[in-house]
Structures are given as C-alpha cells and as structure tokens.
C-alpha cells in the first residue's frame, strides 16, 4: 500500500513533498521519492492521495 | 550577453559626473528607460516612499534599481494552461522557468553575494517557479534570513492568490510591503479555460468550481492586503480570444479593490515550451493588440508598461538577467556586505533624478507645440539616458511624444542585431518588423549598414544625441524636424 513517483515524468516541483501528511516524500539525489514504509495512500486522512492530487503532471504519482 | 552592472569600484568615483560615466561604461539597465507617469508627482508621499526604489512598482525607479528573484518555492497549488514546469531551458527567459532551485539558506547566501556586488539592488522577490504563498515555509524562511542581514532590501512576493489569505498577518508582520497577484479572469466561465485545476482544501478541483474558488480567494487577498496597507500589483496574462475584452472588467474589479498597479502581459506561447496553450496553438497577442487592451483600461488601475516577464530567478536591472553570473557554484566563499556602496548609490540616484526631472520638464515644454504624436525607439541601458549601441540592444524602449508630453509607452524586444561583430539579416528583419510603426530610433551609436536598412524601412536612426536624457533628446529631434520643415508650423498657424 504505497504510491510511487514516475521519475521520468516528475518535474521536481516539490508540491507533493509538502502536502504529504506522513512526510513520506523526500528529495533524494535527482528527484523526489516516496518512502513505501511511510506512505499510507492517505487512507483515513484524505479522500485521495495528496501527492497525486497536487502533482501538476498527470499519472506521475501512481500506485507502486 | 547581458550588460554588466556598475562595479563597486565605480562607486568610489568622486563626482556625480564620473559616476554617470562609470554607469554608462559599465552598463546598467540594458532595458533602461521608462518614462513615467508614475513619478513622485502623481503619488501621495507615503506611497511614493514605498515604491520609489522599486523597479517594478515605479517606472521611474526602474532606470536605477535592480531586483533579484530567488527560486525557493517550487511547489504550486494550481495549474495554468500557459505554464509547464517540466521543462527548464537555460537558454530562455520566461516566467516560471528557473535553472537552479535553492534552499532558503542557499538563497540567502546568493542575495548577500549579489547585494555585495550590485549596489543597485533594492528588491528581493520570490516568485516561484511555483507559488510563493503556497510554498510558504520556504518563502518565509528565505525572507527571514535576508531581512536579518540586509534590512535595507525590500521584500516582495508574487502569488496566484489561492493561498494568500492564509498568510496576510505574517506578510504584514514581516514588513513585506509589495505583493503581486496574478489574476487573469474574474468571470469563472473564462477562468475555467485558463486553469485546468486548482488544489484547495486537500482536493484537486476543476471547472467552474475551481475558477470560482480561485477568483474569490484572489479578490479577497487583494482586499485584505490593501486594507492592511500592503501595495498590491495585479498581473494579468493577455490571451487573445479568451480574456482580451474581459481584462477591462478585471482592471475595474481590481482597481475597485485597491490594486495599485495593473500589469497586463502578453501570453508567451511556443509549442516548444510544452504548455497546454503552446500545444493547442493558442497564440500570444501582437504588440498592437497588447497596447489596445492597455489603452482601453486607461482610467482604471494604473497600468504598468515596463514589465519584462522576468524569470523566477532573474538578477539585475529589469530587462537584463545576470542570473547566470550568480549561480551557486560561482558564489565566493566569503561574502562581504556593501551597505555603504548601496547608500552611496542611492544618494547619487537622488541627484540624478532631480536633474532628469528638470530636463524632462524643459523638454516637455518644448514639445508642447507638437500636434501629432510621434513614436521613438530608444536604446538605453539605464539612468534615463541614451547610452546603448544599436547593435547591443535586445529591446527598444518606445516613447511617444505629443502635446501632452513625452511618455514611455512600452518596450519591444528583438534579439540583438550584432552577433560577435557580424550583423545578422534575420535579426534585422525582426527588428524592422517590431519597429514597423516607429519613425525614429535613438541610440548611442549605429553602423552604416543597419542605418541604411532602417532608413529604407522609413526609420531614421539618430546617434548624435548619445548620453542625453531621453526626453531632452526627443525634444531636440522634434524641434529640429519642425525647424527643418517650416511647412509644419505654417500648417498649425
Ligand atoms: S499517497 Fe499520501 S501518504 Fe502516500 S506519499 Fe502520497 S501524500 Fe504521502
Ligand atoms: S508533485 Fe509531481 S512533479 Fe512535483 S515533485 Fe511531486 S511527483 Fe514530481
Ligand atoms: S501559478 Fe505560476 S507556477 Fe503555478 S502553474 Fe501558474 S504560471 Fe505555473
């Protein structure tokens, strides 16, 4: 139960990082990655995964 | 490419004349000069005090002062059809594009370094590449660091407005006295075609709902900030066929809510940028279309006509970008401050301004007789003077002179004609195109070849008035035309 970021599409804008309620998204090396351990898919916190909702590029934050 | 700013050594010169000479030589605003409806004369003293050293808020100030942006806020809470944050090309300059993303600490270091070598620096802005109010933690941290070290630098913030109402108290507390809000539509029917979605209250929203929320929050931020004494500039992107007529309504609405300045900017739309508008063939406006909308808004909120649509990491005087000179890897280990140089520079500007104002008044009195408006293209690198070689100009300041005076009406870009000593024909064609309706060109120098090409196109190039104030030179040209053609005065008599 986690999301991942499709690296080739990510614009590295950082929008997802600071929306994530679980601080699961971190800037590493060249781009953002989601820590699968921490990601809850926002279940119980929001209707939709916050990273996917805020990401400006469609289909970039997707189920892992 | 870009002109070099005056080096610190230039500030140790003894006299004002020397300083002027140092400026003309060392560079300065390659964009240069904007005559101003926005001078001390048309403003209350309190407002003038706030804008007088701000190159974006005062057309007059932009002759003398430089701004820098730092790209610390990449996250955005809306998507605009004219923006694509995915591509960043170091070779182009456009809003929303940056080459370097900084942490607040890196940004503060960079600001210090620029302040130490660019005495013209008066403003630090945070304008993205995302939204400065949405990515507030980073924006605030940067401002706090800079305010601590450089209390004389003004802080400035650009936002799409969606998150702004949440931060008004902090903005006031931090002495940020200039905010820019981008408002492209107040009618959600139109707004929905500009914004595919917004992210608000934990949800992505689209269509009329999104456009309505965005509009309401934008107007509310404007009202709230205005009430608290913060100067607000509104930016609007002119999208032909979509909001051109509508911008007149926008202008009225923002004026009614206290906007200090309205900046109507042309859509930049190129398929290569990968934006929605670029890909769907939505074109940008022509210079004439832009001027038409700006003119139609006359009487509403004051219009800004000297906007350069700067990159979110631009450094320098408006119209030039020295961002590449101050990338992180080029910052020195030890960065000193140069508070004294900045204040010496400001003193110099105060005198220069008095002088130019007097020259302008004289020049305007001299052209008062001119019946027909005449356009002038001016090559300048700042200080309100004609001090740029035609071959080095990447844009032309357009002035209009008639019985009502001499005023700046806009700038037109054209890549510089002179490429490493060779004239480029395609570039010359472009210059002739953008200056199609302008009969006179003023520059500090011009070669015979380009002079001839201009003349063939009906543009008279004049380089005999180098170093004069722009207004004085324009008056001199008009005067010589009138005396050269006595028929003119006879007509009028
Ligand atoms: S789905 Fe939610 S919890 Fe998982 S990374 Fe995205 S924002 Fe964080
Ligand atoms: S919001 Fe999307 S584009 Fe931006 S950093 Fe996250 S995954 Fe990348
Ligand atoms: S507000 Fe600015 S950064 Fe955000 S999508 Fe629009 S143009 Fe791009």
Task: Give mean pLDDT, residues A30-39.
Answer: 89
Task: Judge whether B204 is closer than 8 Å to chain A, CB to CB.
Answer: yes
CB atoms within 10 A of CB B71: 27
Q: In degrees rounded to 5, what are phi and psi of residue B10?
A: -65, -20
The more confident residue out of B254 and B467 is B254
Query: Which of B51-60, B64-73, B420-429 ranks highest by mean pLDDT?
Result: B64-73
Please state the rounded mean pLDDT for residues B356-375.
74
Q: pLDDT tens digits for B12-62? A: 333 444 444 444 443 333 222 222 344 445 556 666 666 666 656 566 666
Share of chain B above pLDDT 90, in %: 18
Q: What is the CATH number of the domain that holds A33?
A: 3.30.70.20
A46 contacts in B (CB within 8 Å)?
Answer: 202-203
Whether the pLDDT of residue A3 is over 80: the answer is yes
Give the closest ligand to the alpha carbon of residue B129: 3
Average pLDDT of A26-37?
A: 86
- pLDDT given at position B490: 38
Give me the pLDDT at residue B311, please. 52
**For residue B487, is pLDDT > 50?**
no
Residue with the larger pLDDT of the pair B255 and B38: B255
> B90 pLDDT exceeds 50?
no
Which residues is B203 bridged to in the sheet?
A: B200
**Least-confidence region, from A59-63, B193-197, B327-331, B401-405:** B327-331
Say if pTM beats, i.e. exceeds, 0.80: no
Q: Report the residue from A13, A46, A47 with minimal CB separation from B85.
A: A13
| Residue (of B62, B66, B58) closest to B111 by Cα position | B66
For the cut 90, the answer to whether the pLDDT of residue B333 exceeds it is: no
- pLDDT by residue (tens digit) across B379-388? 887 777 888 8
- Specify the 3-state DSSP secondary structure of B339: helix
Q: Which of A20-29, B139-148, B180-189, B297-306 has the lowest mean pLDDT?
A: B297-306
pLDDT of residue B489 exceeding 70, the answer is no
Confidence of residue B316 (pLDDT cuts 50, 70, 90): low
B93-126 pLDDT, tens digit each: 444 455 567 888 888 888 888 888 777 788 888 8
Task: Measure the CA–CA gap between B140 and B160, rounded to whole angstroms.
Answer: 17
* Residue B452: Cβ-neighbour burial (10 angstroms; 0-12, 13-18, 19+): exposed
Residues of chain B contacting residue A19, judged by C-beta atoms under 8 Å apart: 199
pLDDT tier at B211, thresholds 50, 70, 90: very high
Q: How far is CA B200 from CA A9, B139, B397, B443, in A?
A: 23, 19, 41, 51
Q: What does the alpha-carbon distance between residue B212 and residue B215 come to, in Å, rounded to a whole number?
A: 5
Which ligand 1 atom is the nearest neighbour of the CA of A52?
Answer: 6
A64 touches chain B (CB under 8 A): no
Assess whether pLDDT exceeds 90 at residue B226. yes
Mean pLDDT for B198-202 is 89
Q: Are B26 and B5 in contact (CB under 8 A)?
A: yes
pLDDT at B262: 86
What is the distance in A from the centroid of ligand 2 to the CA of A13? 5
What's the rounded mean pLDDT across residues A25-33? Answer: 84
Q: What is the pLDDT of residue B56?
A: 60
Mean pLDDT of B398-410: 82
Determine whether the shortest distance from the Cβ of A57 to ligand 2 is under 6 A.
yes
**pLDDT value of residue B329:** 66
Region of poorest pLDDT, from A33-37, B250-254, B355-359:
B355-359
Which residues 6+ apart lie within 8 Å of B445 measured at CB?
A: B389, B390, B463, B466
Tell me what ipTM this predicted complex has: 0.83
Q: Does residue A57 sit at the B interface (CB-CB below 8 Å)? A: yes
Location of structure tokens 């472009």: B430
- Distance between first and last Cα of chain B: 50
Among B166-175, B210-219, B227-236, the range of highest mean pLDDT: B210-219
Please list every residue in chain A whose beta carbon sits closer than 8 Å to the beta carbon of residue B86: 9, 11, 56-57
pLDDT-based confidence at residue B209 (cuts at 50, 70, 90) = very high
pLDDT-derived band at B172 (thresholds 50, 70, 90) equals: very high
pLDDT at residue B15 in the model: 42
**Nearest residue, CB atoms, A15 vs list B76, B137, B203:** B76
Report the percentage of chain A scoring pLDDT > 70: 100
Where are the strands (E) in B390-491, listed by range? 395-402, 405-413, 418-419, 422-423, 440-442, 460-462
Give me the mean pLDDT over the B480-487 stretch: 61
d(CA B249, CA B215): 13
Identify which has the larger pLDDT, B30 or A37: A37
**Overall domain count for chain A:** 1
Q: Which residue has the higher pLDDT, B203 or B350?
A: B203
Range of the domain at A32: 3-63
Of A34, A53, A60, the one to substitute when testing ligand 1's pocket (max ligand atoms within 8 A of C-beta) is A34
Which atom of ligand 3 is found nearest the CA of B129? 3
According to the model, what pLDDT value does residue B306 have? 58
Residue whose entry in the numeric block shows the structure tokens 């040209």? B477
pLDDT at residue B43, rounded to an integer? 59
**Per-residue pLDDT at B319:** 53
If one compares B9 and B159, the residue with the highest pLDDT of the two is B159
């Amino acid at each position: 139960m986690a999301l991942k970021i499709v690296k080739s599409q990510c614009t590295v804008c950082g929008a997802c990082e600071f929306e994530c309620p679980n601080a699961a998204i971190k800037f590493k090396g060249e781009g953002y990655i989601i820590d699968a351990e921490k990601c809850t898919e926002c279940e119980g916190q929001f209707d939709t995964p916050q990273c996917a909702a805020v990401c400006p590029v469609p289909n970039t934050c997707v189920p892992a | 490419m870009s002109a070099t700013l005056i080096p610190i050594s230039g500030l140790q010169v003894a006299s004002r004349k020397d300083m002027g000479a140092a400026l003309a030589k060392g560079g300065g605003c390659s964009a240069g000069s904007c005559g101003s409806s926005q001078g001390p004369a048309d403003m209350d003293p309190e407002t003038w005090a706030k804008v007088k050293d701000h190159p974006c808020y005062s057309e007059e100030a932009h002759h003398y002062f430089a701004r820098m942006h730092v790209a610390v806020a990449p996250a955005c809470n809306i998507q605009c059809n004219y923006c694509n944050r995915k591509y960043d090309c170091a070779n182009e300059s456009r809003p929303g594009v940056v080459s370097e993303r900084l942490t607040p600490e890196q940004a503060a270091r960079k600001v210090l370094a620029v302040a130490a070598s660019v005495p013209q620096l008066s403003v630090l802005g945070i304008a993205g590449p995302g939204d400065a109010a949405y990515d507030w933690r980073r924006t605030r941290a940067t401002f706090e660091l800079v305010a601590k070290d450089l209390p004389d630098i003004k802080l400035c913030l650009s936002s799409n407005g969606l998150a702004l109402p949440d931060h008004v108290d902090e903005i006031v507390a931090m002495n940020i006295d200039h905010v820019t809000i981008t408002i492209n539509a107040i009618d959600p029917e139109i707004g929905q075609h500009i914004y595919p979605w917004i992210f608000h209250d934990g949800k992505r929203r689209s269509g009329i709902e999104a456009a309505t929320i965005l509009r309401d929050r934008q107007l509310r931020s404007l009202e709230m900030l205005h009430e608290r004494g913060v100067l607000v500039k509104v930016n609007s992107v002119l999208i032909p066929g979509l909001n051109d007529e509508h911008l007149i309504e926008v202008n009225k609405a923002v004026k009614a809510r206290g906007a200090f300045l309205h900046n109507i900017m042309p859509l930049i739309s190129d398929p290569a940028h990968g934006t929605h508008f670029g890909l769907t063939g939505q074109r940008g406006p022509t210079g004439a279309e832009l001027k038409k909308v700006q003119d139609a808004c006359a009487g509403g909120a004051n219009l800004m006509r000297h906007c350069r649509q700067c990159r979110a990491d631009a450094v320098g005087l408006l119209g030039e970008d020295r961002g590449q000179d101050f990338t992180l890897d080029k910052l020195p280990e030890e960065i000193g401050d140069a508070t004294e140089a900045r204040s010496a520079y400001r003193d110099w500007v105060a005198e220069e301004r008095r002088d130019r104002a007097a020259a302008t008044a004289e020049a305007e009195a001299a052209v008062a007789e001119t019946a027909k408006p005449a356009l002038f293209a001016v090559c300048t690198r700042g200080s309100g003077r004609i001090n740029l070689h035609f071959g080095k100009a990447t844009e032309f300041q357009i002035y209009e002179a008639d019985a009502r005076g001499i005023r700046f009406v806009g700038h037109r870009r054209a890549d510089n004609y002179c490429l490493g000593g060779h004239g480029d024909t395609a570039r010359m064609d472009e210059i002739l195109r953008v200056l199609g309706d302008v009969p006179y060109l003023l520059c500090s120098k011009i070669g015979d070849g380009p002079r001839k090409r201009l003349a063939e196109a009906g543009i008279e190039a004049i380089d005999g008035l180098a170093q004069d104030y722009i207004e004085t030179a324009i008056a001199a040209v008009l005067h010589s035309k009138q005396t050269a053609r006595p028929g003119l005065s006879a007509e009028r008599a």
